[in-house]
Amino acid sequence: MDVLTPADPAAGRTGPRRPRPPGPDPRSERRRAAWVGAFLTPAVALILLLLLVPFLVTAWRSLFDDNGVTARFVGLSNYVALFTDPDFGRSLLNTVMWVVGTLVLPVLLGLLLAVLTHSVRWGAVARTAVVIPYALSGSATALLWTFLLRTDGAVNQTLSAAGLGGWQQEWLLHWPMNTLVMIVATTWQATGASLILFLVGLQTIPSETIEAARLDGARGLQLFLRIILPQLRPMTVVVVGMSIVNSLKTFDIVWLLTQGGPGTASETLALTMYRQTFTLNRYGYGAAVSVVLTVVVIAASWLYLRRQVRQRTGEAV
């Protein structure tokens, strides 16, 4: 009879084999983390190189009185001058008007047009008419609206021909009228982008969900508010977030239509930064405006996304 020695691994085993404790293998998790880090490192390095480093350089330059030839350290004097400048207050107000206007008009119109034209025969024609302006450049859009809105432009001539001469305005020469009509011009161009994104969102809604809601008696506005709009929430977050960021850095159409005038009445923060830096050669002051604009964009985006995450977490709970 064979005798089991202590060296035999089965010598002291008297019961069933103990199962391995559940849970991930630490070595496998470390390898996975290493691979994820390896893939993310180039992207993070690129972000640091192209975004964070220029911002830090700009923030440092904002501490100097710099005219492009000589630079003198002045600390926070540029920021003090900025926040006590009435032109900066008007520029900030105009930027807020752009944010509100581009949220109320392009986003809302894009949503309504996407829902109304999604499942009708003539929807493709209507969508094409709305999307075509989005394909135009900012320069082409500004040229077209200059033709429409100048003192002897198409809008005033049409009003005169219709016997409504009392409604004629110098649309681009008085604030806040010039800012409002430029928001309308941007709405004409930007609604197409919102329309496309909301159409993509509508195509992700299962048709069975809509049919079930209709069988339960949901129609019209009730169907839209209770079924369609909640299903479009992920796309709405994207569209609204993009609109906020784009409106905060509005530049091209304001520069081409009014150049911030009359005086500085219609300037936005982006235009103020450009004028101070490249027209007046106040590079330190312009850098301070750039830092403030960057902080405003990041803060607005963070607050909006944080609120959306909280709402979604609350719904999940």
Q: How deeply is 164 buried, as exposed, middle or buried, from its count of CB atoms within 10 A (0-12, 13-18, 19+)?
A: exposed
pLDDT of residue 1: 45
| Rounded distance between C-alpha atoms, residue 181 and residue 205, angstroms | 36
pLDDT of residue 219: 79
pLDDT of residue 184: 94
| Rounded (10°) CA dihedral 124, 129, 132, 134 | -100
Residue 49 CA to its chain's centroid (Å): 22
| Rounded distance between C-alpha atoms, residue 139 and residue 227, angstroms | 40
Contact 170, 266 (CB under 8 A): no
Q: How many CB atoms lie within 10 A of CB 272?
A: 27
Tokens of 64: 């100097």
Beta strands in 68-184 (DSSP E): 71-73
| Rounded distance between C-alpha atoms, residue 66 and residue 73, angstroms | 8
Lookup result for tokens 């480093």: 53
What are the φ and ψ backbone dihedral angles of 2, each rounded to 5 degrees? -70, 140
| Rounded distance between C-alpha atoms, residue 136 and residue 26, angstroms | 55
The residue type of 236 is: T
Q: What is the pLDDT along the chain (317 residues), one digit of tens a residue?
A: 444 445 454 444 555 555 555 556 677 888 888 888 888 899 889 988 888 899 999 999 999 999 888 899 999 999 999 999 998 999 999 999 999 998 889 999 999 999 888 877 788 888 888 989 998 888 899 999 999 998 888 999 999 998 888 898 899 999 999 999 999 999 999 999 999 999 999 888 888 888 888 888 777 788 888 888 888 888 988 898 888 888 888 898 999 999 998 889 999 999 999 999 999 999 999 999 999 999 988 888 888 888 877 776 766 55
